Amino acid sequence: MRQVIEANKQAAIVAIQANDGLRKWCSGLPPKKSFLSSDDSPAARLPLTRRSTLAEKPELDDLLAATKVEYDGHEYLPLTVRTVHHLSPFWKGEKPIADTKIFSCVMITPEVINVHADHVVAAIERIGVYCKHLLVVAPIQTSELENVFDRENGDIASGNDWDRILKRFPNIKRLAFVHPIDDPVELSRGTFCALHLAVANCQATHNIKSFKYDGPVQLFFNCACLQMPQANSTT
């Protein structure tokens, strides 16, 4: 009798297990697998996102090189809102420059007036020592820079703004002045005369080998009474 009871129990267990197996397939679909199952293929999983690393961010050298402008066979770094913004980590000492030769040719254009004057002065004080070629594209208003220079000098005006600008470029060998052909001469007269006078004043401390003038003849001769180094005039 006991053997019969045990046999019935075993038969019941087998029947239950069989029914469980059938229920797994009752929907007509295979059983779901765990997302973390080891036999899942990588392609079936959702793509994982990751944060960008410093190696993926362009260096300052690349950012600045992309802004360069060609003139007379040289590539110049213009002091614009964009480039001065890129230079900010450099003059603050937060990020280095791999090759300072990128500052060997610098261009100052009318767009400099759109940049915060303190930032312009900070930029030229940091990069000016590396500059060998300086290109000035008129007209340039230096009144905002004058306020910064005066504040640094204890609110004591010290003359021509271009005198103080050129002091930040102690190693320039070649200086060029360009007057855009479409701009009125009157807009550039102040820039040209002040710059030429500053060049004459700094000859004792600078070793400027050439000064190129690229503009209308009338603008050049309007300032010819100043004591200036020899210039090449092109119309």
pLDDT tens, residue by residue, 21-54: 555 545 555 555 543 444 555 554 555 555 544 4
Cα 167 to Cα 208: distance, rounded to the nearest angstrom? 12
Which tens digit of pLDDT belongs to each residue from 204-233? 678 888 989 998 888 877 775 444 444 444
CB 192 within 8 A of CB 138: yes
Sheet holding 74-78, edge to edge: 69-71, 74-78, 105-108, 133-137, 174-178, 210-214, 232-234
Average pLDDT, the chain: 76
**Global confidence as pTM:** 0.68
From residue 138, give the alpha-carbon distance in Å to each of 26, 30, 134, 176: 85, 78, 13, 11
**Does residue 139 have a cis peptide bond before it, meaning omega lies within 30 degrees of 0?**
yes
Per-domain residue ranges for the chain?
Answer: 54-234
Question: In this predicted structure, which of 71-80, 81-90, 120-129, 177-186 has the lowest mean pLDDT?
Answer: 177-186
Select, from the ranges 33-42, 107-116, 121-130, 152-161, the one with the highest average predicted confidence (pLDDT): 121-130
Share of the chain above pLDDT 70, in %: 63
What pLDDT, on a 0 to 100 scale, did the predictor assign at position 177? 94
Q: Which residues contact 134 (CB under 8 A, 6 or more apart)?
A: 105, 106, 107, 108, 169, 172, 174, 175, 176
Q: What is the DSSP letter of 94?
A: S
What pLDDT, on a 0 to 100 scale, did the predictor assign at position 232? 46
Question: In this predicted structure, which of 73-82, 145-154, 208-217, 223-232 has the lowest mean pLDDT?
Answer: 223-232
CB 88 within 8 A of CB 57: no
